[in-house]
Chain A
Amino acid sequence: MADSGAMSGAALPDAPRRAVNGRVLKDSVVRMSPGRLVSNPVMFIVELCFFLVAAMAVYPRGFVPVATPSETPFYVEVAVTLLVTVWFSTLADALAEQQAESTARSLRRLETSVLSKKVVTKEWSRETVPTPSKDLRKGDLVLLENGDVVPLDAEVLEGIAMVDESLMTGESTPVRKAPGDALIGGARVVSDTLTARVTANPGETYIDQMIRMVESSKRPKTPNEQAVTIVLIGLTAIFTIIILSLLGLSITLGLGGDLSVLIALYVCLLPTTIGALLPAIGLSGVSRLYGRRIVAKSGRAIETAGDTDVILLDKTGTITVGNRQAVEFIPFEGHTESEVGEAAFLSSWYDDTPEGRSVIRLAHEKGFLPRELNSLAPSEVYEFSASTRTSGIKLGRGFGFILPKGDKSGKDRGRLRRKAAMSSEEEEAASEYEILKGAPDSIRKLSGNVPPGFDKTVESISAAGETPMAIAKNGEPIGIIRLKDVLKPGIEEKVQAVKMMGIRPVMITGDQPLTAKSIASEVGISEYVPMAKPEDKFRIVQAEQAQTHVAAMIGDGTNDAPALALADVGLAMNSGTEAAKEAANMVDLESNPAKIIEVVLLGKQLLMTRGAVTAFSIANDVAKYFAIMPVIFAAAYPQLSAFNILGLGLHSAVLSALIFNAVIIPLLIPLSMRGVKFRPASTMSLFLRNTMIYGVGGVVVPFVGIKAIDVLISVI
């Protein structure tokens, strides 16, 4: 399961690794040019301050009475620190961009360049022309035979086949594809033959879209980023008024304040930390999402995900694995349970799907080990075919069963075969026969007539929301395997986490109410919509939004498209139809519906990180005031040294505060790019925790940090 473990422990795994390399360093320096920096008003002002202090260092006489020529070395120190502050911020940008690009590069590897069989109609016949995928266009038809790679996103037109999408989705079991189903570029056909129509031009696939968004340097600011920027501009305006007033007072009252000290105070007060890291935080949030192979069509969608109050969860695929598990063998009249169990066992020997494995496990648990395993050999194996919806085996005399090729559970089967040893007399008695297992209606069709209990048993199992599978021996139905839904591993914890964060999970299923209820209550969901058709999702989203809820949902079918478009957060499965992907604001390349929960967590993490750094940045100002204030008018008002609670030296106080202000930026780069760590918890406890760490911590940390830097400076 691709998402397993995502929610355990500290919730979210790390983003791709990053490191400072030459390219990043060069990029960070290029970004320091005023023309490029102007888009970040806070850092631009810091740079202007650098030029001013640099001018003071070069020609202090021009700045009297707010400068003293003998202080030139100090001006140089301040100027250098200011320049380093600017550089740290551009370094953060460069690193975030690099992280995003490396994500994009890893995604680009998914893009395939293959020679595919373009179908061309010539007069009376169709021909295939070998064509590189880059020359294919939307609307072209391609023939995909066993072993072929799907060149671009496409849609099945003819044929039914099994397709391996493990490269994209991490799910090893091949998926059945029928006309109308979507194919992901890069997937591989592993059975049968398909004709498909290309749905995206080269460079327009979802992977391409994602890469472009990551690489684009002109990402529009999200609404929340804009709002934070407004706060930063507001604070900058306030501090500008403060510093200009202090400068005016210093001159008119003859307080002898030094311009460089005022500038140092100004820069320290400016929200440089969040100003420097804001772009990186946003970009990293997007990268983290991409790192999980989810394409968001806008940064806004990620933030909205954090605001979700209600998640519509499709039962199948989200709460339960698509496969079901055998729980009972039900014999028809005249047959025994062990007979059914052994037949089921034999029919599943070569069936390596989770369902097949579950049949073998159940038979083994119940002790139904067929002796034929060593005396008879399969003369023919009927693999599951999408058109007959049955699979089976024909047994004949031979030297016992061989282990299936590429079998995941080969070891187990070898052990089982040794267990099922047979006496020689029994071997004599054994005769040839054929076992088929499959959907009840398929078996009915094959057998022609069915025993009296057949319909009743099938119906009662279906009515409970479970799946019946019929077993026929030599064409005669002998019993039913009852298969039950299996919960996804860890789904209970995920649902619990969702609820803890104040989000209501609502389960949507086509099942009967009783079944729906039993599954819902098993995972702790109290709201469920049974017997829902895909179209109903639209109505549900509408109803939730009418009550002003922010709704997140997943979908894959064309029927889901209207609801996906309506939902605040619509996550489409890449395996879904084109219409669904167009309508949604996010697409999961791995087509794992359970990831909707992860999307919500990532949205929260992004907002939290931005809030934490903002609060930390503002809270830091308190300590900086205490450091620099005694120095500003130290000559005129030595009494103000009462504010010097840290016991700093005159010059080193200013430098310590400035250096702290600068180094906190690179120190917070990892936090900004990784995101704030959090465990799912209620809104209030997340708030309390983060307020204590980043708000209260933001007040305390700089006191410690500035003092430590002061001690270091005095040692040097």
Chain B
Amino acid sequence: MITLLQFISVAAILGVTIVIAWLLAPYVTGVFTGKSSPLDRLFGPLERAVYRILGVDPQRGMGWKEYFFAGLFVNVAQMALAAVILTFQGSLPLNPMGFKGLSWDLTFNTVISFATNTNLQHYAGEATLSYLSQMTAIQFLQFTSAATGICMGVAFVRGFVAGSKDLGNFYVDFTRSITRILIPFCLVAAVILVFLGVPQTISGYRAVTTVEGAAQSILVGPVASLVAIMQLGTNGGGYYGANSAYPFMNPNPQSNILEIALMLLLPTVLVFVFGQMLGKKKETIPILVGAYALFGIDLAIAFIPAAPQGAGIETRIGGFYSVFWTVVTTAVTTGSVNTTLSAMHPLVILSAFMGMLIQSTPGGKGVGLMYMVMYVVITLFVVGLMSGRTPEYLGMKITGRDVKLVMIAFLVHPLIILIPTVVAYAGGFAQAVGVGTNSVGFTQVLYEFTSAAANNGSDFLGTAANTPFFNVATAVVIFLGRYVPIGVLLALSGSMLGRKRNPEAGLKTDGLLFSAVLVGSILILVVLTFLPFLAIGPILAYLQGHVNFFG
């Protein structure tokens, strides 16, 4: 249970973040609707130069297939580039620590993991990656995966905008989301983070003699720039193996709160952008209310047990903010952690599962919005019939094909979470890395694949899962979990283009009544799909009296 003061502080952090997101949303909307802005003078020539180099016509719109495959192919090319850097880092510059290249399977896992905004890490960066790798593989992919997510989300929204003729141009959206959103936002965030104590240097680890005379290496590096994009871009991959528990990534309570806000910022901004791009600001209501109501439920579950203390908890952060962070990082599928997940109470882990299984509370930037609209469509279809009309969303009739696409998107998750989990045990792969067959062990394996499927990236196993099975299995799960739903939902959006719409009649989605129904239906859908597995995982751990996952 939490104190009143803690409740107020959580409410204040969330409230301020939502207000800032609301203030930033018109700018972000302008970026994607081509609204002229004073910044055009700065970015305009730069972007035009990029289009010339790429040989793309920025005016040419794309259908969903072209948009999606442009994004997919660009992502694959980026994976390839990053793979080259990681494999050959030993012979490349900016490697003062002299780290060797990564194994093929770890490289495969890492590039897919980072290019998809997942950031599941089966390595500890400080002991594995050169500065060049941290920058041109990790930070690079963190930017591009975030940009890709934003692009897909924005393209998705365009399909629903009345009068849209296409989903936009991927290259233009990608360029603008980097130049006008991610780089400026991250620059500001990175400088504040440095001010708060996060290092930013490329001059090598510093050897010192401690007060007592022992040798110590201070593992500094270009950390602040990475933390900025990893949190803002809901990536989550850490510079260090301990992620945001490592003091250089999260030096004090101030940085901790800032990073929580950074994680929530873009997903929330895009929720507002949705209504603004549609020209119906009230349509943001069910998305926002639905997302934050579910997030509130997650928080309420996580705060039931007493906050953990001691083992696995960073002193400057404390148990309460470790729990809060854990809920946030799974709710927006960031996956950064400021604690040891094993220190968390089973109910906190249950709450984390909910965030990752729902994926839209408010979810990863862009993609969380897509998932929420997916839930809106399926909810409207199932309950909307009860209003005596063929269900409509934004005045457009929901057809059998729409339902088919939504069901495919919905089906992906159980398929790629449950089957690999069973295989991991059946093949003895889980047991081989020391994971038990009890509720604690099962939770850890289920979490691994849930996190991979949801493109979250937090995990219990960490470097222990650096085995060919887990590297390849999670990489495949990550890839499918990222691109299948995005592709299918873009197809849904593409089919909305030019669809006949009837703006006046039908079920109103822009109010609290529908928001409440939406929340109920999401809970039922997710509970129906995953309850038995949560029951023999975190819930059983709780019923068996575990208070954490050590041992």
**Residue ranges of A at the interface with B (Cβ–Cβ < 8 Å):** 223-224, 226-228, 230-231, 233-234, 237-238, 241-242, 245-246, 248-249, 251-255, 265, 269, 303-304, 306-307, 309, 501-503, 548-550, 603-605, 607-608, 610-612, 614-615, 618-619, 621-622, 625, 629, 632-633, 637, 639-640, 642-643, 678, 683-684, 686-688, 690-691, 694-695, 699
Contact = CB atoms under 8 A, between A and B. Distances in A.
Given A227-B400, A242-B414, A686 B390 contact: no
Closest 6 CB pairs of A and B: A611-B385, A234-B407, A604-B388, A690-B386, A687-B387, A248-B422
Nearest to B400: A227
Contacts of A307: 389-390, 397, 505
Contacts of B411: 234, 237-238, 241
A640 B543 contact: yes
A693 B418 CA distance: 34
Interface string B370-410: 00000000100111111111100001011110111001101
B444 to A, nearest CB: 13
A549 B502 contact: yes
**A interface: dominant SS:** helix
A612 B386 contact: yes
Contacts of A678: 388
Nearest to B378: A231
A307 B384 CA distance: 12
B387 A625 contact: no
A621 B387 CA distance: 22
B359 to A, nearest CB: 16
A227 B524 contact: no
Nearest to B395: A548
Nearest to A693: B386
Contacts of B395: 548
24 contacts: A234-B403, A234-B404, A234-B408, A245-B414, A248-B425, A253-B437, A255-B536, A269-B528, A307-B390, A309-B502, A604-B388, A607-B385, A607-B388, A618-B382, A622-B527, A629-B531, A639-B540, A642-B543, A643-B535, A678-B388, A686-B387, A686-B388, A687-B384, A691-B386
A690 B387 contact: yes
A177 B544 CA distance: 86
Contacts of B531: 625, 629
A672 to B, nearest CB: 14
**Interface hub of B400, B415, B544 (most chain A Cβ within 10 A):** B400
Given A245-B419, A607-B390, A622-B524, A502 B504 contact: yes
B386 A637 contact: no
Contact of A683 (B383, B442, B500, B506): B506
A397 to B, nearest CB: 67
Contact of B528 (A228, A303, A611, A621): A621
Interface in B506-551: 506-508, 513, 517, 520, 524, 527-529, 531-533, 535-536, 540, 543-544
B503 interface: yes
B281 interface: no
Contacts of B5: none
Given A238-B410, A614-B385, A246 B524 contact: no
Interface string B97-119: 00000000000000000000000
Contact of B418 (A224, A226, A241, A642): A241
B421 interface: yes
User: Of A226, A242, A643, A699, which is in contact with the most chain B CB atoms at under 10 Å from its CB?
Assistant: A242
B215 interface: no
B267 to A, nearest CB: 26
A258 B500 CA distance: 51
B403 A252 contact: no
Interface of B: 378, 381-390, 395, 397-400, 402-404, 407-408, 410-411, 414-415, 418-419, 421-422, 425-426, 437, 439, 442, 500-508, 513, 517, 520, 524, 527-529, 531-533, 535-536, 540, 543-544
A612 B384 CA distance: 9
The SS class assigned to the B binding surface is: helix
Contact of B389 (A234, A607, A632): A607
Given A619-B524, A684-B508, A687-B384, A306 B414 contact: no
B410 to A, nearest CB: 7
Most chain B C-beta atoms within 10 Å of own C-beta, residue among A255, A265, A684: A684
A639 B544 contact: yes
Given A607-B390, A608-B387, A684-B508, A242 B502 contact: no
B421 A640 contact: no
Given A252-B422, A253-B437, A686-B388, A611 B529 contact: no
Contacts of A603: 388
A245 B419 CA distance: 6
Contacts of B403: 227, 230-231, 234
A644 B524 CA distance: 18
A605 B388 contact: yes
Nearest to A611: B385
B286 to A, nearest CB: 14
A161 to B, nearest CB: 43
Find the residue from A246, A249, A632 having the highest chain B CB count within 10 A: A249
A550 B387 CA distance: 16
A223 B418 CA distance: 33
A312 B395 CA distance: 21
Greatest chain A CB density within 10 A among B389, B408, B527 is at: B389
Contacts of B414: 238, 241-242, 245
Contacts of B508: 683-684
A526 to B, nearest CB: 15
Contact of A629 (B439, B442, B532): B532
Contacts of B502: 309, 548-550
Given A252-B437, A683-B388, 17 more contacts: A227-B399, A230-B407, A231-B403, A231-B407, A234-B403, A234-B408, A242-B533, A245-B421, A306-B388, A607-B388, A610-B385, A615-B386, A619-B524, A625-B527, A640-B535, A678-B388, A688-B513
